[in-house]
Amino acid sequence: MEVYHAIPMLNALIYTLGALCIKRATTHGVGPWRTTFISNLALFLAAFPLWFFGKPIEEATDLLIPLAIGATFFLGQLLVCLAIHKGDVSLLTPLLGTKTVFVAFIVSVGLGEALTNAVWLGALLSAVAILLMRGGSSGDRKRVTLTVYLGIACSLSYAGTDALTQAYGAELGFHKIAAGTFSSVMLFSFFLIPFFKSSITAITRQTWTWMALGASLMTIQAGLMSFVLSTYGKATVVNVIYSSRGIWSVVLVWCIGHWFSNKEQSLGRGVLIRRLLGSLLLVVAILAVMN
């Protein structure tokens, strides 16, 4: 097994656990803006020391690359945070698997690679998978529809992040890509402060426990993803394996969701099984893109 196989496989599980922890923290009243700010602060603190390693920045214009990557990452993180708060994890996480189709499309158009029939087949299968995963939630259609829209928009934004990281990773190196990206993300995050419904100091100790755990897990998986994409490229391969988080989300919510005060089990076995089937179909769609 190659490094670029093992890392996204591990990341799939880390992401799902992190999302559940953050969802648990939100049950104590922490809004999406404070959640995003805290998560980005964790990313910044972890990545800042990387400025002192790796290739030196030769021109000021080189900073524009991680700035652009940070902008797409921040938008994607903001969208996924909103979806976690307003939607449900077992539906959102499989939807994020469509990112691989978007990655293939962006890389093909941006880098001049011809789109194959397999790409269009993957897009069609992923659309069918989304419709399948939407089923069974007629009791709250607005919530389901919002989750679908946010999930797809987030996938598109993160696809841009991955494509840019692969395109410029070899030029700048992992250290500068990660440090620049997450520093710019932190800069953007200060614009969220006016939207806080209360100060960060008002967060309770119990909430901080779940928030810190979730933010730490998200930081680890974001750092690992930045490393594998900037070092090895292989964005499509990485995302194919990373899409297995869709299956992890359904399984974990069903088995241990109550540990995180997650009530999505109440949707019923039929809904979760349908979403699991949708997740599997989504994996098939992404594998079609690979082939």
Domain span at residue 220? 3-290
Residue 139, pLDDT score:
47
Q: Tally the domains of the chain.
A: 1
Tokens at 127, concatenated: 């659309």
Residue 70 has pLDDT above 90, yes or no: yes
> Rounded distance, CA 15 to CA 37, Å?
18
Q: What is the mean pLDDT of the segment spanning 63-79?
A: 91
Q: How many CB atoms neighbour CB 29 within 10 A?
A: 13
pLDDT in tens, 245-262: 767 777 776 666 555 455
> Rounded distance, CA 272 to CA 105, Å?
30
User: In the structure, how many helices (H) and strands (E) does the chain have?
Assistant: 12, 0
pTM of the entire predicted model:
0.78
Q: What is the mean pLDDT of the segment spanning 65-83?
A: 89
Look over the chain and give the mean of its residue pLDDT values, rounded to a whole number: 81
pLDDT in tens, 207-250: 888 899 999 999 999 999 999 999 988 888 788 778 777 677 77
> Rounded distance, CA 255 to CA 251, Å?
6
> Rounded distance, CA 193 to CA 4, Å?
37
pLDDT in tens, 258-271: 554 555 555 566 77
> Rounded distance, CA 44 to CA 120, Å?
37
Tokens at 40, concatenated: 């980005």
